[in-house]
Structure 1
Amino acid sequence: MSNRIRGGGDPLHDTSVSHGTVVTDTEDPDPRKLVVVNTPGLSIEEWDATPGTTVADKNPGYDPGEKVVIAAPKAEIHEEFPYYTGGVPLHLSRINQTKIDHTGYPRSRLSPVRQLPPTTLPLQDVRPSPFHVRTFDAADNTEFIESIKERGRPATPPLVRPVESGFEIVNGHKRIWASHAAGLTAVPCRCAYVDDRQAAERWARAHLPGYNDEQQQAAVARIRDAFGDDADAILP
């Protein structure tokens, strides 16, 4: 490795990586494909690689202020989280419950290959969030339905999560509804591995601000029924 400090504005590396980016390690002589699973927002000098040793300690040729990126072997991610498509981080507490070999890297050490694609799911396997209370009218959404019918899919993939009975919508209820109305049987979706509370938090941030007063009251009541005293920490 060169003695020149890398990172920051280093033109040798495209550092535009995000959750779900497939990457290779530029320091690995026989690189395997990795997937970015988390970006904690901390620098490599703030993130421990092992107890008492930071990622910066293990990467002395990189700017210690560079952001750390957590990546794991693509094959291991696919085996443990088969529907993961990126866009949403895999929580490290969840990864730590597996045998996945995840590692912290300086962002500029990783070379992007591509983004994980959406996964196509049968619409019959996708159900709404338990907090969703809005209804949609076909007559008011003719153009939206037709655009999905012509394209064969929504312009932006809905976000879902795996649950015991299939998949639950986190964001994209109208897109799923319109896909049904357009006569589709399956659509590409982004899939996140989040628990009930994390899903509720994401749902609340994405939907409650756009609800009218009556819809907000109904949705908030459902959240309070589900989470009790913890509901206030979930609501935006």
Structure 2
Amino acid sequence: MQSNTEVTVGRIVEDRDGVSPRGVVVNYPPILASDWHVQGRGTLAEDNPDYPADDRTAVVVFETDFEEHYPEYSGYEGIPMAQLNADGVPYYAFPESRLGCVDELEQPEIALEKIDPSPYHARNFDAGVNRQYIDAIAERGRPKPLPAVRPHHGGYQILNGHKRIWASHVAGLEAIPVAVLPLDDVRAAKYWAQRHLPGYDQRERAIALDRLHERLQSTIVDEIRREYCSSEQDHATATPKPDGGHDE
């Protein structure tokens, strides 16, 4: 497989052929050009015979559409294809070597007071247990890796990184850099569940599932349960555990 190490999500790119306008890479799926099908035109490789068939596919939203639909997206992670389709955003697939990188999106710094927790989060943190973790964030001046948030009701809601954001509060920081993903309610819930439910104990998981049921259709919650809660977890005995090494 050919590899263009410059091409990844969040990069601003131009078309080396000069046919298409500049755009932003919003998804970089592990699919070769020879396996990506373009409606009515065969595979991406067949539609781009001057580029290697084993190029990886890069999904691009042109700048005008990007600024209209995703002005806060920061490019730290890709926007799911299902979200792009649900939003009705025009996007285009390119063989990666047809693209040249000209810039990249920046991760914004957001005031902690504007960031709310996920409504499903069910774990508390102890400052005494996590003192070294808090001190490391205070010394560094930012959490690492970046927490992920989504725009929500004029502010932001945590998708992943509750402990990092909590520790930043305790450390006395006022603003931190974050990754912003434009996920709707359902995809935000699934994103959160994938990164939290497998690590929750029985009590935490029960609380989280109750909160999911309060906000989402039962069919969606059942899908989340099947995907991220094993039968062994559902029948396990709840065991309280320290949170010192858990970074969520």
Asked if these proteins are the same fold (TM beyond 0.5), I'd say yes
| Counterpart pick for 1:26 among 13, 16, 22 | 16
Q: Secondary structure at the match of 2:55?
A: coil
Among candidates 4, 27, 44, match of residue 14 of structure 1:
4
Q: Which residue of 1 aligns with 2:166?
A: 177
Partners of 1:55 and 1:38 in 2: CA distance: 15
2:53 and 2:5 mapped to 1: Cα distance? Answer: 15
Inter-partner Cα distance in structure 1 for 2:103 and 2:62:
14
CA contact (8 A) 2:76 2:107 kept: no
Instruction: Give the letter aligned to residue 16 of structure 2.
Output: T
**1:231 partnered with 2:221:** yes
Deviation at 1:215, TM superposition (A): 0.8
Identify the residue that residue 237 of structure 2 maps to in structure 1.
none
Q: Is residue 86 of structure 1 aligned with residue 75 of structure 2?
A: yes
Please, what is the CA RMSD of the aligned residues?
2.5
Mapping 1:100-115, distance limit 5 Å? 102-115=91-104
1:50-91 CA-to-partner distances (Å, cap 9, x unmatched) read 534443233111233433211123454234312111233224
Q: Return the match for 2:47 from 47, 58, 65.
A: 58
Amino acid at match of 2:14: T
Amino acid at match of 1:205: Q
Give the corresponding residue for 2:246. none
The verdict on how the C-alpha distance between 1:98 and 1:201 changes in structure 2, with shifts beyond 3 A counting, is closer
Quote how far apart the aligned CAs of 1:100 are.
5.8
Residues 117-156 of structure 1 deviation map (CA, whole Å, 9 limit, x = unaligned): 2111111110000100111111111111111112221122
In the alignment, what sits opposite 2:211? 222
TM-score (normalizing by structure 2) = 0.79
CA distance in 2, matches of 1:101, 1:225: 33
Structure 2: distance between partners of 1:97 and 1:201: 15
Q: Percent identity?
A: 36
Residues in 1 aligned to 2:9 and 2:61: alpha-carbon distance in whole angstroms: 11
- What is the distance in 2 between the residues matched to 1:93 and 1:140? 40
Give 1:119's aligned amino acid.
Answer: P
Confirm or deny that 1:155 pairs with 2:144.
yes
SS in 2 for 1:140: coil
Letter in 2 for 1:187: I
**Amino acid paired to 2:18:** D
- The residue type equivalent to 1:60 in the other structure is P
SS at match of 1:139: coil
Offset, 1:225: 2.8
Return 5+ residue gaps in structure 1 as ranges. 1-7
> 1:215 corresponds to which letter in structure 2?
E
State how many pairs are aligned: 225
Note if contact 1:15-1:110 (Cα within 8 Å) is conserved in structure 2: no
Q: Distance in 1 between matches of 2:90 and 2:223?
A: 32
Q: Residues 94 and 206 of structure 1: is their aligned pair in 2 closer, same or farther, counting only changes over 3 Å?
A: closer
Structure 2 gaps, min length 5: 229-248
Using the size of structure 1 for normalisation, the TM-score is 0.83
Task: Work out whether residues 117 and 157 of structure 2, in 8 Å CA contact, stay in contact via their aligned partners in 1.
Answer: yes
Contact 2:41 2:47 in 1 (8 A): no
The residue aligned with 1:201 is 190
The 1:157/1:54 distance shift into structure 2, 3 A limit, reads same
Residue 175 of structure 2 corresponds to 186
How far apart are the structure 2 equivalents of 1:196 and 1:44? 32
